[in-house]
Chain A
Amino acid sequence: EPEVTQTPSHQVTQMGQEVILRCVPISNHLYFYWYRQILGQKVEFLVSFYNNEISEKSEIFDDQFSVERPDGSNFTLKIRSTKLEDSAMYFCASTKSDSYEQYFGPGTRLTVT
């Protein structure tokens, strides 16, 4: 069964450094999402992406964040200058155009020291 994959599974970085989290959505899916979950808290929407542009973003998704679909398969989330409070689990998800059902990747645990 097709699945969403994410790399790396765990990323440790120093405050102020740039990180890129990678996702490979399911191949025939058209909508892509990033969510964040700070340890012990609920999952929060960051951004949705469709037709090579951002559809919607939350207030969390400030100028430090960007998303890109550099080729036909990858979907990336970049944080330009990481802060301690960016430490969280980051989930990528995708969905077909005619379905509300989102398929989640296994997540990338980001630790900022």
Chain B
Amino acid sequence: AQTVTQSQPEMSVQEAETVTLSCTYDTSESDYYLFWYKQPPSRQMILVIRQEAYKQQNATENRFSVNFQKAAKSFSLKISDSQLGDAAMYFCAYSSNDYKLSFGAGTTVTVRA
């Protein structure tokens, strides 16, 4: 079974600063997808960014970018120019041929004004 590990239960960042959330995963597959989901207090699951394992280029979506290190099985999320609306729980997730998502335990991000 694939496991996803998020070692930071909580992270705090000053508004307009940058924060990086770490995620590692364990798999024997060569083809898979990685995701970061945001869960605000409403508990809706919102897809932030995705990365295909076969792509070497790191994905970016506006202020969100990833650092994908396939050999190290690491997939970190960088939030640049943090905004108050970024405050939420962030989950790293993995998916492979069976399509189901395996989630990490989550990191709570607090943004200080």
Contacts and interface: CB of A to CB of B under 8 A. Distances in A.
B91 A42 contact: yes
Interface string A6-35: 000000000000000000000000010101
B33 A45 contact: no
A100 B105 contact: no
Nearest to B44: A106
Contact of A48 (B93, B99, B103, B104): B99
B45 A91 contact: yes
A104 to B, nearest CB: 4
Contacts of B101: 33, 35, 43, 45, 93, 102
A95 B93 CA distance: 15
Interface in A65-109: 89, 91, 93, 95, 100-104, 106-107, 109
A106 B42 CA distance: 8
Contacts of B44: 104, 106-107
Nearest to B97: A100
Nearest to B47: A101
B100 A45 contact: yes
A43 B103 contact: yes
B33 A100 contact: yes
B104 to A, nearest CB: 7
A31 B99 contact: yes
Nearest to A46: B100
Nearest to A103: B47
B80 interface: no
What 10 pairs across the A-B complex have the smallest Cβ distances? A104-B45, A100-B33, A43-B103, A45-B100, A42-B105, A100-B95, A42-B103, A106-B44, A48-B100, A107-B43
